[in-house]
Structure 1
Amino acid sequence: MSGTTWKSALVALAAALVVTGVAGCADGGAAKRAGSPSASAGTRDREEAAKAVRAAYEKTAAAKSAKVRMQVVVSGGRAAGSSTFTGVRKWGPSVADLKVTASTYLAAVPGAPAETRVVAAGGAAYTDVGAGRTALTGGRRWLKVDLEGPGADDGLVTQLTAGLSGVNQDPAEELGLLAKSSTLKPLGAVEEPGARAYGGDLPGGRHLEVWIGADGYPRRTVLTTDTDGSLTKLITTSTDYGTEVDVRTPPAGDTIGFAELLAKFTKGRGGGSGRG
């Protein structure tokens, strides 16, 4: 395998990890907004919006988990692409078990699986590289990317996350921040009967829009972050709040860290002494 293909494989696999849909925050300019629900007539005041969002926050915090479908779209920068994730998610602490499909990151690598699985827990994310690619990982099935701590500062990982950090965010926490936002406003009715939409800016150059169902639970959120020329949009649809979530990380002996894999490749290319 050529160096270019090797690096493409690492980029694709790591990208599938770091856009797991529980996107976090980073400093940046004001977020760009697109595809917002219909604007309200301006008759609802901010306090009414804050009351609805606070109620959704309380329900979300109490539920602690949900089934989710998340689509991440990154445009601009050096990590442009998209992926879709479906599975279960839990918060406080944050964990997720997700199937990755329709990923341009994976599609860009010859021989990569059309879909794979991502497990996120404990400040790290693990992706199943597939049996056909374990020759590249020393026989280990799972690629690990640290999303917190020193490993998260690796230059390539930073590029792949478009400058985002702390991806294990709590959706209830985000609603709490939205309820306090000075720019919070109602956006009007949406497709679901009885649902209403609200939106506002969050700290760190982010903008959040939420569709709250007639039952008071968030049904859809759109989190947009504009950082250093890279626009990341995370669209999340949540159902079955309170669903059981049992996430187990792969055994350590079957995982390889992204930094270790990159160092292994670099050593092998530079001096011909690398393993495998």
Structure 2
Amino acid sequence: QLLGKGNELPGPRFTLVSKASSCLFNALWKPTAAVVERTQEVRQQLLGKGVGDGQYTAIHLRMGHLAGEMYDVNRGWERYKGLLGVVRCAQHYALGGVHDPAMTSISSSGSGDGKDHARALQRTKTRVKEPEKEEEEEEKKSGSSSSSTGKGSLGARSSFSNDNWDFKPPVLLLTDDVVLRTMVADGLFRGFVGPAYVAHHLQRTSDSASVDEHIATFVDLLMLARSKCLIHSASGFSKTAMVWGWPSCETDVKQCMAKHYLHVTGEVPAGR
């Protein structure tokens, strides 16, 4: 009898991810003391002392292979390309970058008159050419010359490449893929960190799972929610983190892939 038309509860209607939903969610759900304490411990270990809420960039990559879910999950993007895209996006945010207008223009599928795409492309080509011009001017001043493959290098380096991966704090990369998660935890991704414990799927975890194993899942969730910039996947876990935390900047894997493609090729991805 409480359900209204269409089996909906009475009251205001909110979109899933909005400020109003975030306000309501935070009023209804609070992390337990155990989750908060463990989150602070893990975050300090990974990001360093003094790094608090809203002071770091975080990534959530939903790829499959959680404990209790040993298979790939298709979220509409290729795993390798998705990883490349989010790594570049995260670097941009971690170095103090803001939301890139070029990324917005190429991610608005089916909208616009194409002028935004052209402007984004021109901005990118300009950024690509500038370092080359600066290098040529420096060579002219010094009277030195170099081959087309660079100064003593074996091959040409992309002129838009940014080699600064020593940002502080590092980027928090959380994924359900046990192999990638282990690689990040072992330090194989410069500038990126992640916990060593295994991620668990709440609905597919064995009944014998310990309380600590379930707490670890919520530690992941809270660390994502408390980030300044969040790069998220098409996942209920990502959406919950968004609603719980409402980060000041956010984007998703597909937008990052499009941005990375534009920077690499100088072309807007087909279908965008």
TM-score range, shorter chain: under 0.3
Question: Which of the two has greater strand per residue?
Answer: 1
TM-score by length of 1: 0.28
Task: Mark the structure with the bigger radius of gyration.
Answer: 2
Q: Which structure is richer in relative contact order (CA contacts within 8 A, separation 6 or more)?
A: 2
The structure richer in helix per residue is 2
